[in-house]
């Protein structure tokens, strides 16, 4: 067990790295998609809606396979790690877009109306009135998305990224100690999951409207 433990720590770091990179990509895509869905332009609305619907309506695994195995057929050659980050990022972006849009909608209409009445422009209203209130409401749903992303990152083991689940699978096969191996991998996942969960709890309380 001591012999394999360093491999697991290294693998856990890869899992964290993939999750963080995919999270950044996902947030950017989600913000764009939410903005597109809420814009006045019918074309942007259609694009945003289509993106969210397609990526939420199909399995993440298939999205990764299309990108990694199907990509070369349409001229997209990615190494496993890049395909994993992009695939996970685009997938979670669709879910996060709905979290962001939900929070923006949840801010009372009266707030916008009042701000506009006292002379704020549309952009100022969004920037100074709606956003600060919506940001608080986003913390929890985006936190739930991030935890789902971390657990979903196990899927990239199927396109041979050497992360935590891949490493666990390899050692379950070679050591014949399934429960110890599962225990170590599970423990590492749970440390990360519950660390994110407490961070989200902290932020949610810190920025709660009393």
Helix or strand or coil: residue 78? Answer: coil
CB atoms within 10 A of CB 23: 23
Establish if 119 lies at the interface with other proteins (CB under 8 A).
Answer: no
Q: Which of residues 75-94 bind other proteins (CB under 8 A)?
A: 75
27, 35, 69, 119 from 105: Cα distances, Å: 18, 12, 38, 21
Least distance from other proteins to the Cβ atom of residue 107, Å? 23
Give the DSSP letter of residue 67: I
How many chain residues bind other proteins (CB under 8 A)?
A: 42
CB atoms within 10 A of CB 85: 24
Stretch that binds other proteins, among 23-31, 44-52, 96-104, 161-169 (CB under 8 A): 161-169
Q: Which one among 20, 66, 82, 135 touches other proteins, defined by CB under 8 A?
A: 66
Q: Which of 150, 14, 38, 46 is nearest to 92 (CA)?
A: 150
Stretch that binds other proteins, among 6-14, 40-48, 70-78, 137-145 (CB under 8 A): 70-78
Stretch that binds other proteins, among 4-12, 33-41, 81-89, 149-157 (CB under 8 A): 149-157
* Pairwise CA distance, residues 21 & 60, whole Å: 17
Least distance from other proteins to the Cβ atom of residue 155, Å? 6
Comparing CB distances to other proteins, the nearer of 107 and 181 is 181
């Amino acid at each position: 067990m001591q012999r394999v433990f360093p491999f697991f720590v290294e693998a856990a770091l890869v899992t964290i790295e993939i999750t963080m990179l995919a999270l950044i990509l996902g947030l950017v895509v989600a913000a764009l998609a939410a903005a597109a869905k809420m814009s006045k332009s019918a074309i942007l609305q259609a694009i945003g809606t289509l993106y969210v619907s397609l990526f939420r309506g199909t399995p993440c695994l298939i999205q990764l396979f299309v990108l990694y195995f199907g990509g070369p057929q349409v001229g997209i050659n990615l190494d496993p790690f890049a395909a994993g980050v992009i695939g996970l990022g685009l997938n979670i972006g669709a879910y996060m877009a709905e979290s962001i849009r939900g929070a923006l909608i949840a801010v009372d209409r009266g707030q916008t109306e009042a701000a506009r009445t006292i002379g704020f422009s549309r952009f100022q209203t969004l920037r100074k009135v709606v956003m600060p209130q919506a940001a608080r409401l986003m913390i929890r749903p985006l936190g739930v998305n991030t935890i789902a992303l971390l657990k979903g990152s196990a899927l990239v083991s199927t396109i041979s990224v050497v992360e935590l689940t891949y490493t666990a699978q390899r050692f379950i096969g070679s050591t014949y100690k399934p429960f110890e191996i599962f225990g170590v991998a599970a423990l590492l996942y749970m440390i990360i999951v519950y660390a994110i969960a407490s961070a989200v709890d902290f932020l949610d309380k810190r920025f709660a409207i009393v």
